Homo-oligomer: A and B are copies of this chain.
């Protein structure tokens, strides 16, 4: 069973982000009808017609989004009718519903909305609670079996309820009687290739056991790496056992690097660890410039453990607020292991917290030297009079570097708290 998606709209080819694709892609995968292709076409009759013909020749289900509006460049109804060789018929009952929607908002219906009351012969209308354009489903029977065209409007606030309320129930049971289960493992504090080396034997092959099949993929984003494990099959308990075995293999290889699964977010994981240990934390930032405090305080309830943060950009403020010694700054420079350690200890003492966390480094784009290049960073953690410090070298833009430092600092903190 092949499913394809055609997105219609010139705006999608000239700068507008298409969120319908992502939404439908996920939902269709969940019901066992994963998209095998997506095509975006402009509001152009010929290009759309050609794409639709190609798509129909390859697939069992073609979903279209967009082009159902009331203006001259809304071509979906007409083009699909033409390609199928069917007529468009005016439906008074559809017009009545559209008029009522305007009436409820005390508006008169503009004349051009009338075109939304045309239905392709033999199609079923799909109710649209939010907007004025009904969707349509056309079922085609031919020698090769049955094909379906599903037409949805483009705005997500119309498309999403129509999908949940009508399309998914309509398609349910059509999907290959296939269960699809997904586990996402989040990893920080290591590079993509570094983690790949450790897990390639586990993840680089599709495996099957009878009709159950699993596969892995790696998705890096902003200093964080996700390993995605997808299982497909028809027998739920066999599939669960298969996934569980793979999950355990993964944890045996890289369990220490996995900070969470699914919706878990690193700053929340760290927050929960602090609460569990009944620890408080204070943060001293130089190169991250407030980002680390910002991430930690994004977590609701963080005031329970976060006492304060300081962003000491100048040497003077490192001395005044954190009591970093002038001699240390002079001898080693602001970007050094020694200063990072004194910052972490200084901020912990100032706050009387259990933990002090500090960052210092060169975020660039300027300010680097041959011995201290852009991207050189020290992260220090002070805990009960003991202090640890790590050196890193990151690349990317100023913002990229800030983001990576923040993720690595949170991960270092997580591992320290786990001990």
Please give the number of chain A residues whose Cβ is less than 8 angstroms from any Cβ of chain B in the complex: 113
**Residue A365 at the chain B interface, CB threshold 8 Å:** yes
**Number of copies of this kind of chain in the complex:** 2
**Residue A97 at the chain B interface, CB threshold 8 Å:** no
Flag if B375 contacts A105 (CB, 8 Å).
Answer: yes
Nearest B-chain residue to A307, judged by Cβ: B314
With A157-B396, A194-B107, A300-B398 in contact, is A14–B38 under 8 Å at CB? Answer: no
CB contacts (< 8 Å) of A316 on chain B: these are 307
Q: Least Cβ distance of A387 to chain B in Å?
A: 21
Distance, CA A366 to CA B365, complexed state (A): 40
Q: Which of A312, A397, A400 has the most CB of B within 10 A?
A: A397
Distance, CA A13 to CA B73, complexed state (A): 27
Flag if A194 contacts B18 (CB, 8 Å).
Answer: no
Distance, CA A16 to CA B17, complexed state (A): 12
CB contacts (< 8 Å) of A71 on chain B: these are 196, 200, 204, 218
Q: Least Cβ distance of A45 to chain B in Å?
A: 13
Distance, CA A110 to CA B197, complexed state (A): 7
**Residue A40 at the chain B interface, CB threshold 8 Å:** yes
CB contacts (< 8 Å) of A296 on chain B: these are 289-290
Distance, CA A155 to CA B107, complexed state (A): 46
User: CB-defined interface of A21-54 with B at 8 Å, one 1/0 digit per residue?
Assistant: 1110110010000111111111110010001001
- Determine which of B13, B18, B197 lies in contact with A18 in the assembled complex, contact meaning CB atoms within 8 Å: B18
**Residue A70 at the chain B interface, CB threshold 8 Å:** yes
Flag if B14 contacts A34 (CB, 8 Å).
Answer: yes
CB contacts (< 8 Å) of A306 on chain B: these are 311, 313
Chain A residues engaging chain B, CB cutoff 8 angstroms: 10-19, 21-23, 25-26, 29, 34-44, 47, 51, 54, 69-73, 101-102, 104-107, 109-113, 130, 132, 155, 157, 191-194, 196-197, 200, 204, 217-221, 228, 283, 285, 288-298, 300-303, 306-314, 316-317, 320-321, 350-351, 363-366, 373, 375, 391-400, 402
Residue pairs across A and B with Cβ atoms less than 8 A apart, 20 shown, are A11-B217, A14-B25, A14-B29, A16-B219, A17-B17, A17-B19, A17-B21, A36-B42, A43-B217, A70-B193, A70-B196, A71-B204, A72-B204, A104-B393, A105-B393, A155-B221, A290-B292, A297-B313, A300-B365, A300-B398
